[in-house]
């Protein structure tokens, strides 16, 4: 144990939340105090970002009519996805994939506009902006779990349609609809495992040394 | 406080690590026990992933010659980035942007091949695979910080060249060179702030309600 390490109890708490975070789609009623939402967003804002660009923009949806419109977008994409899945269409439609209408707080996380001016760490990998935003969302997710709140990241939507709905300028891009709020309980394991949609692979299959020797058919959990 | 919330001490530990995680480029000598590295990778492996695709693949670099080759790739891109930055070229070259040769452990994080078979949550947003991998890296980062280890995410490289160096198949894509290991201390604030490269924006400028009203010139920290 080195001198910069946290206490054993702190370390245990951090590993606990990493293991117990779940992508939630089932919510119960209840509100978040404003200061709690602010804490969670502050956790997101502590994320690393490439060249310190802080590309994340959050839109809090408080207008009930807008929430319905967002739900409609998600449901439309849910059916298009089902069709695209072919033989698993009916099985997919049985899954609960979002809690947009039930969650206490609905947030849209978006990449900012004018990102092309940021070159540091992005000349060859411009998608590092999304990587940064994703780290921010993971922070939010972990903080929410610790506070006993569930969160789900919904990516079933047409980003252009959602951008128009929120009056985003060209260049900005929504990448997450975040459903956040009280839940009755957290899933014991990822819901897609319980629902027999997919199986998780063990870590050792995903780590190698010095060169790529993963199997040619590198499917974790074939969907089709 | 709801009944699913962690204890106040646990919550504090989780917010602490979120706030104190840093993107490190300065490392000191020392090794990681194998079981510690396994714990950190397990934390990464607990990340959420779109449709449970678990797109992350980690390659641990233990061959010293390969480490030098990776450093050469990074240094080449460092100079190309400097040129692309124009008037900030000299300033950029003064920054320490990576610790590839000094860190105890070097990992390459990559997206797996054959990702097109995963449609759930990716029909309109295929880049959700990178989002999932980024959440895994953030988990690793937080666990490492708690254990007193520094980590840096280097994205200064040509992904095609790195893919070839590691014998990756078509479709796989490296997105992070992760420098991990003991550090003398953690930066008090992000190094790019201390070095006057960029300024951070306050959270309130990045959150709005119901529609996009961020300024047209939406630059956090203009590089140029």
Share of chain B above pLDDT 70, in %: 96
Share of chain A above pLDDT 70, in %: 96
pLDDT at A223 exceeding the cut of 90:
no
pLDDT in tens, B128-152: 999 999 999 999 999 999 999 999 9
**Torsions phi, psi for B98 (to 5 deg):** -160, 160
Q: Mean pLDDT, chain B, as a whole number?
A: 95
Selected residue of B211, B215, B222 to mutate for chain A interface (largest A Cβ count, 10 A): B211
Closest alpha carbon within chain A to B66: A210
**Torsions phi, psi for B72 (to 5 deg):** -65, -40
Pairing status of strand B207-209 against strand A56-61? parallel
Query: What does the pLDDT read at residue A221?
Result: 45
pLDDT at A222 exceeding the cut of 90:
no
Distance from the first to the final alpha carbon of chain A: 46
Question: Do the chains contact at A197 and B52, CB–CB below 8 Å?
Answer: yes
Selected residue of A30, A43, A54, A191 to mutate for chain B interface (largest B Cβ count, 10 A): A54
Select the more confidently predicted residue: A76 or B217. A76
pLDDT at A220 exceeding the cut of 50:
no
A198 closest CB neighbour out of B51, B124, B143: B51
Say which residues have a Cβ less than 8 Å from residue B212's Cβ, sequence separation at least 6: A57, A59, A110, A166, A167, A168, A169, A172
Share of chain B above pLDDT 90, in %: 95
pLDDT in tens, A82-120: 999 999 999 999 999 999 999 999 999 999 999 999 999
Question: Do the chains contact at B131 and A121, CB–CB below 8 Å?
Answer: no
At the top level of CATH, the class of A22-185 is alpha beta
Instruction: Spell A65-103 as b/e; 16+ CB within 10 A means b.
Output: ebbebbbebbbebbeebbebbeebeeebeebebbbbebb
Contacts of residue B94 in chain A, CB cutoff 8 Å? none
Average confidence (pLDDT) over A129-150 = 98
Q: How is chain A split into domains, by residue range?
A: 22-185
Element holding B173 (H helix, E strand): strand B173-182
Average confidence (pLDDT) over B22-50 = 98
For the record, the structure tokens of A13 come out as: 């708490």
A11 closest CB neighbour out of B19, B147, B183: B147
3-class DSSP assignment, residue A68:
helix
A123 closest CB neighbour out of B5, B81, B153: B81
Query: What does the pLDDT read at residue A215?
Result: 86
DSSP A118-174: --TTTSS-TTHHHHHHHHHHHHHHHHHHHTTEEEEEE--S-HHHHHHHTTPPTT-EE
Distance from the first to the final alpha carbon of chain B: 46
Question: Do the chains contact at A143 and B217, CB–CB below 8 Å?
Answer: no
Query: What does the pLDDT read at residue B215?
Result: 85
Selected residue of B93, B164, B192, B207 to mutate for chain A interface (largest A Cβ count, 10 A): B207
**pLDDT band at B221, cuts 50/70/90?**
very low
| Residue B219: Cβ-neighbour burial (10 angstroms; 0-12, 13-18, 19+) | middle
- Whether A222 and B117 have beta carbons less than 8 Å apart is answered as yes
pLDDT in tens, B87-114: 999 999 999 999 999 999 999 999 999 9
Q: Within a 13 Å sphere around the CA of B214, how many CA atoms are in the beta-carbon half?
A: 28
Average confidence (pLDDT) over B53-70 = 98
pLDDT in tens, A31-43: 999 999 999 999 9
Query: What does the pLDDT read at residue A49?
Result: 97
**pLDDT band at B217, cuts 50/70/90?**
low
Instruction: Look up the CATH number of domain B22-184.
Output: 3.40.109.10
pLDDT in tens, B180-214: 999 999 999 999 999 999 999 999 999 999 999 99
């Amino acid at each position: 144990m080195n001198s910069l390490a946290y206490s054993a109890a702190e370390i245990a708490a951090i590993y606990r939340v990493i293991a117990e975070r779940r992508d939630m789609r089932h919510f119960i009623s209840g509100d978040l105090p404003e200061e709690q939402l602010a804490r969670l967003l502050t956790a997101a804002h502590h994320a690393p970002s490439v060249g310190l660009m802080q590309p994340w923009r959050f839109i809090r949806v408080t207008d009930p009519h807008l929430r319905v419109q967002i739900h409609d977008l998600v449901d439309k994409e849910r059916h298009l996805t089902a069709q695209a899945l072919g033989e698993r269409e009916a099985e997919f439609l049985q899954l609960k994939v979002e809690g947009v209408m039930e969650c206490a707080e609905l947030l849209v996380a978006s990449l900012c506009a004018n990102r092309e001016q940021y070159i540091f760490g992005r000349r060859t990998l411009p998608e590092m902006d999304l990587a940064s935003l994703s780290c921010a969302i993971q922070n939010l997710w972990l903080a929410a779990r610790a506070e006993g709140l569930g969160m789900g990241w919904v990516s079933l939507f047409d980003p252009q349609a959602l951008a128009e709905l929120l009056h985003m300028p060209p260049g900005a891009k929504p990448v997450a609809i975040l459903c956040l709020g009280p839940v009755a309980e957290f899933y014991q394991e990822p819901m897609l495992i319980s629902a027999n949609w997919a199986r998780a692979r063990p870590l050792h299959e995903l780590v190698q040394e010095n060169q790529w020797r993963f199997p040619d058919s590198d499917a974790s959990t074939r969907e089709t």
